[in-house]
Amino acid sequence: MSINESISIGEKIKQLRIKLGLTQEELAARTELSKGFISQLERDLTSPSIATLMDILEALGTNIRDFFNESIQENIVFPAEDIFVQQGDTGFEIRWLVTTAQKNAMEPILLTLEPGGKSPVQNPHEGEEFGYVLSGTLTLCLGEERHKVKKGDSFYFRPSGQHWLENNGKITVRVLWISTPPSF
C-alpha cells in the first residue's frame, strides 16, 4: 500500500480489533452489535452510523478524531532528552524512560536510590512488578516482608500489598523497574 492510499473504515476497525486481540464476537458483545454486522463492516459490505462508529471506537479504546487522523504514529524510540525526572525528598530519583507510559500496558522507570534512600510507597494494584538491579544492593519491601536484591539480581511480584524499595547500604542503587499497569 502506498503512503497516499487511504484505508477503508472497515479495514481500520479490523486492524484495531486484531491489534487488541479481540474476536469479532468479543467486539460485537462489547458494542451490543451482532457478529454478522461486525463481519460485514470489516469487509466494507455495510457502513455504520456515526453513533455506532463511536460505540465501536470506544470499545476499541480510541476516538473518532484519532481514528481518522492518519498522521498519528506510535513512538518507538524515546530520546534521552525527553525523559521526565522526579527528585524525591526521601533520597530517590525516578526517570520515566517512556514518555507515553501512562497510556501503555507497562511503565518502565529507572530508579536511583541514594544511601538511606527510599522509593515512594506504592499501594496494592492489579498487574505485576519487575525490577533488575543495575548497581548496588537494595531491600525490596512487600508489606512486612523484606528481600535483599543485589546488582545483577531481578525481582518479580504481584503487588497485593504496599511495596517500596530501600537502600540501606553505602553505595547508590540503580534499578530498572517495570510496572504493569502504570502506577508511578
Asked whether residue 52 is domain-assigned, the answer is yes
What span, in angstroms and rounded, lies between the C-alpha atoms of 179 and 68? 31
Least Cα distance to 91 among 183, 179, 170 occurs for 170
3-state SS, residue 14? helix
**Residue 90 and residue 176 share a domain:** yes
Same domain (yes/no): 97, 175: yes
The answer to whether the CB of 162 falls within 8 A of the CB of 122 is: yes
Residue ranges making up the domain that contains 166:
80-180
Read off the CATH number of the domain in which 14 is found: 1.10.260.40
Between CA 174 and CA 106 the distance in angstroms is 19
Residues 94 and 174 in one domain: yes
Structurally, how many domains does the chain consist of? 2
> Are 87 and 64 part of one and the same domain?
no
**Would you say residue 73 lies in a domain?**
no
Rounded to whole angstroms, how far apart are CA atoms 149 and 129?
14
Answer yes or no: do 53 and 86 share one domain. Answer: no
Whole-prediction pTM: 0.61
pLDDT by residue, tens only, the chain of 184 residues: 333 345 789 999 999 898 888 899 999 988 999 999 999 999 999 999 999 999 999 889 888 888 887 655 667 888 888 888 889 899 999 998 987 766 778 889 999 999 999 999 999 999 999 999 999 999 999 999 999 999 999 999 999 999 999 999 999 999 999 999 877 6
